[in-house]
Structures are given as structure tokens and as C-alpha cells.
Homo-oligomer: A and B are copies of this chain.
Amino acid sequence: MTTNAISLNLATTRQVWGFKDAVEGCLRAGITAISPWRDQVAAIGLEEAARIVGANDLRVTGLCRGGMFPAETAQGRQRQIEDNRRAIDEAAALRADCLVLVVGGLPGASKDLAGARGMVSEGIAAMLPHAKACGIKLAIEPLHPMYAADRACVNTLDQALDICEMLGPEVGVAIDVYHVWWDPRLAQAIARAGRLKRIFAHHICDWLVPTTDMLLDRGMMGDGVIDLPCIRKMIEDAGFFGPQEVEIFSRENWWKRDGDEVLAVIKERVATVC
């Protein structure tokens, strides 16, 4: 069942291509799946984005992103939930496989990580009825522990799966190798996600040594230390065979290159080292 199907996460070409350019670039490269960011959809307009997706029969492997639940006040948290409901509407209009959730970190000056984690579960629970009504699955993306304070306080696959089990079958995980590759419990956690049928997306890139920026120095597959075929096998053994979604934030390297060149390298690497 294994294929080398690719989805382009449009963050990867963010600096050179908007939504429409990126789709045209993908089609030139024979790539028929994408995962756009909400600001990229907004820039061209949701209707036009949905029209392009439909006209080209694109698969949208995810919409990035909902989440960011913790806030200092109940009002702040409610605003986030409302924004997440709008994100669900956008995901539905694009017929996305899922809405990816980057859950948010510590609110304000708080040091209460357990409290922030509680706000995440509550926030997802609050948006879930709308997601179900729209037929949109929610994919919690556990982020690397180095983002626990400021981006996401869900930091392991097992932690995400605990939330999924609590909330029901419409809540699953987006497994990004960059965030989880180090986890000594990775194999067991991916198998667990498979048993629960909660793997909704598989993101790839690579971990560079050294990493010079904690956010914007992700590597192209093959340029770092992640054993991509090994993790891919875990994910396929767990029953997920969707496209590998390439998401590379790389301010000093890939974001400076021509989009067609980036896609050519991605295709070559997916065929040879993933």
C-alpha cells in the first residue's frame, strides 16, 4: 500500500508563493495534495481557495491551524473557541481531512502548566460539537517540548492521545516527526494511536545538527538526524497511509529558494530517504 504521495504544507514555500502560486507549483510538480495556513487562505479569500481546490481536485490533508486555547481570562478563552469554530468552517469549505490544532502554551505570566493543559482539553471539548456538525476531524499536533511555554503545552504523543481518548473518535493526532522523533516511547505511542484509529496526518522534515533557531531552522528530509523510514514504518504499521506532508520552516535556507526548486528537492528526497 506504500506510495510516495506528498502533500505540500504551504508554510514550506510561504516566502515565495501565495496560495494560488503554490497550487500551480504543486500541479507542475505532479503534487495533488496541499495543507494551507489560514492566513494564506484569507489572503486569496476562502471562496476562491475552495474553488481552486475543487477545480483541481486537490486533497487538503489539513488546515493549519486552530488551537491556542489557554488565555488568562474566561473571555479570552471564549474568543479563542469562537475563532476555532471559524477555523472549522474554513476547513469544511476546503474539504480538509482535518483541522490541525497547535494548542497554545502558558497564558500571560502563568507558570501553571497543568492549568494550561486543562484549558486545552476544555477548549477542544467546547469546539467539538461544531466540528462534528461540520464533519471535520480535529488533529492535535503535539509540539516539541522546547515549545511548551510559548506554543503548545501538549508535548508528547501519549499526552495528546490521553486527550483524544477523553473526547472521542473525532479528535486525533497529527504526527510531525520534528516534534516527536526523540521520544523514547514513540513506537508504543504510534502503535497506540493506530489501535485508536486516531492518526489523522503525518508531517515530515528533519532535525538539523546544529539547529541555529528554535523555530525557523528545520531541515529538508535527509539533511538531519531523524530516521524517517523508521518512523514512517511505525505509522504505516499503525494503519495510516496518507500522503507525507512536508512542512519546513527554514528562514535562512529553503525559504530563500525558488519554489519549483524546493519542490524538486522534496520529490527527490521523499523518493530516496523517506
**A126, CB-defined interface residue at 8 Å:** no
Cβ of A210 and Cβ of B150 under 8 Å apart? yes
Whether a CB of chain B sits under 8 angstroms from the CB of A117 is yes
Report whether A149 and B209 are in contact in the complex, using a CB–CB cutoff of 8 Å. yes
Asked, given contacts A146-B145, A150-B210, A214-B214, whether A225 binds B182 with beta carbons under 8 Å apart, the answer is no
This protein's copies in its complex: 2
A148 to B224, CA, bound (A): 13
Contact A184 B155 (CB under 8 A): yes
Taking a contact as CB atoms under 8 Å apart, the answer to whether B113 and A145 are in contact is: no
Q: How far is the CA of A154 from the CA of B158 in the complex (A)?
A: 18
B residues near A72, Cβ cutoff 8 Å: none
- Interface residue count on the A side (C-beta < 8 Å): 31
Q: How far is the CB of A181 from chain B (nearest CB, A)?
A: 8
Residues in chain B near residue A207, CB distance under 8 A? 149
Q: Is A227 touching B184 in the complex (CB atoms < 8 A)?
A: no
Q: Cβ of A158: which chain B residues have Cβ within 8 Å of it?
A: 184
**Residues from 219 to 256 in A contacting B, C-beta threshold 8 Å:** 224-227, 230
List 9 additional A-B contacts (Cβ < 8 Å) besides A113-B182, A158-B184: A111-B227, A113-B227, A145-B145, A145-B182, A146-B146, A146-B214, A149-B224, A153-B182, A211-B214
Chain A residues engaging chain B, CB cutoff 8 angstroms: 106, 111-113, 117, 144-146, 148-150, 153-156, 158-159, 181-184, 207, 209-211, 214, 224-227, 230
